[in-house]
Amino acid sequence: MARRLDRINRLLDGVTRNRREIVTPEGVMLEVDIANHGERLVAFMVDFLFWLLATSLLFLVLGLTLLHGVTGSVTITIVLFLSFLLRNLYFIHFELQSQGATPGKRLVNLKVIDRSGGPLLPGAIVARNLTREVEIFLPLGLFFSVPTLAEGGFWMALSYFGWAAGLSALPFFNRDHLRAGDLIAGTMVISVQRRPLLAELAQAESRYVFSRKQLDAYGAFELQVLEELLRRPSSPDTHGMQQEVCGKICRKIGWPEPVPEAEALAFLKAFYTAERAHLEREQQFGRYRADKHEAPSTGR
């Protein structure tokens, strides 16, 4: 199944998304899509921006009230402590309350899960987020605090920067894109695309009627490709792909008249409904076709 979905992703996108099979403690096999590096970076930058805005607002309020007249060293200590506290509370709170999704992750449809398929425990969430301090914020804080012009300061700053860069690059060196926090906490970040139910895709369009010969042109694999395309969120790229696929189907089945661009989605939904019903009916009689290159098999 995972290999078939990889073929679909390669056909639609030209790339293969990393897919893993996880067996839950109850013995249920789940297939998940591993979040790629770009998605995780975008999610982190969005969360970092939200945290920065919240921190700036807090410091503005404190500066006008409690910190007024406090000495510089004390102010810096308070600022660093509150930054650490707010930063970790932000990630921990949202991942606890939103089942492993911060606002940034929700924006790009990502989610933190337990690698063994079990429930996402609070201890794992705390561990993976506290580890981020050692991965990124602690070495970067030390890097910016080193006087590089002093004797030996340059090499010390470089070592701190290398510390942060090395740990940040860890997801590029394992197949599940795990950072140090994921390795310690036993978690992973997956992509959870919002998909409509099959029943929503199978709404028939009565103005499009297909013959048995036309429906015999495709098999189960092509049907699944079409299903994945219809499930995709609406976007200019998706619309362009729908029109391209619509044209290919029309040429393949010999559709007698051109389908207007505005009707491409309706045509694809109607063809999906008819093709799915046709293949299910054929399978009931022992005739199964894996894809368009394979002749229908007959039952014994």
Positions of E strands within 3-62: 19-23, 29-34
The token pair at 65 is: 């009230």
Tell me which of 181 and 166 has the higher pLDDT: 181
The token pair at 87 is: 């930063």
Least confident of 64-68, 96-100, 268-272: 64-68
Structural element, H or E, at residue 156: helix 153-168
Look at residue 299 and tell me whether its pLDDT is greater than 50.
no
Look at residue 71 and tell me whether its pLDDT is greater than 80.
no
Look at residue 10 and tell me whether its pLDDT is greater than 60.
no
Look at residue 200 and tell me whether its pLDDT is greater than 70.
no
Single-letter residue type at 162 = G
Share of the chain above pLDDT 70, in %: 72
Look at residue 201 and tell me whether its pLDDT is greater than 80.
no
**pLDDT reported for residue 33:** 83
Query: Average pLDDT, stretch 159-177?
Result: 81
Tell me which of 297 and 267 has the higher pLDDT: 267
**Strand, coil or helix: 182:** helix
What DSSP letter does each residue of 82-146 carry, written as one string?
HHHHHHHHHHHHHHHHTTS--HHHHHTTEEEEETTSS---HHHHHHHHHHHIIIIIHHHHHHHHS
Instruction: Using a cut of 0.85, tell me whether the model's pTM lies above it.
Output: no
Q: In what order do the strands lie in the sheet with 187-191?
A: 19-23, 29-34, 187-191, 110-114
CA 188 to chain centre: 11
Per-residue pLDDT band for 58 (boundaries 50, 70, 90) equals: confident
The token pair at 219 is: 């098999």
Per-residue pLDDT band for 80 (boundaries 50, 70, 90) equals: confident
Look at residue 272 and tell me whether its pLDDT is greater than 70.
yes
The token pair at 123 is: 């201890």
**pLDDT reported for residue 193:** 67
| Helix, strand, coil percent content, the chain, rounded in steps of 5 | 60, 10, 30
Tell me the C-alpha distance between 273 and 193, whole Å: 22
**pLDDT reported for residue 284:** 62
Per-residue pLDDT band for 191 (boundaries 50, 70, 90) equals: confident
Nearest to 100 by CA among 92, 52, 193, 36: 92
Helix 236-253 / helix 220-231 crossing angle, nearest 10 deg: 150
| Residue corresponding to tokens 């605090």 | 145
Least confident of 7-16, 34-43, 75-84, 85-94: 7-16
Per-residue pLDDT band for 126 (boundaries 50, 70, 90) equals: very high
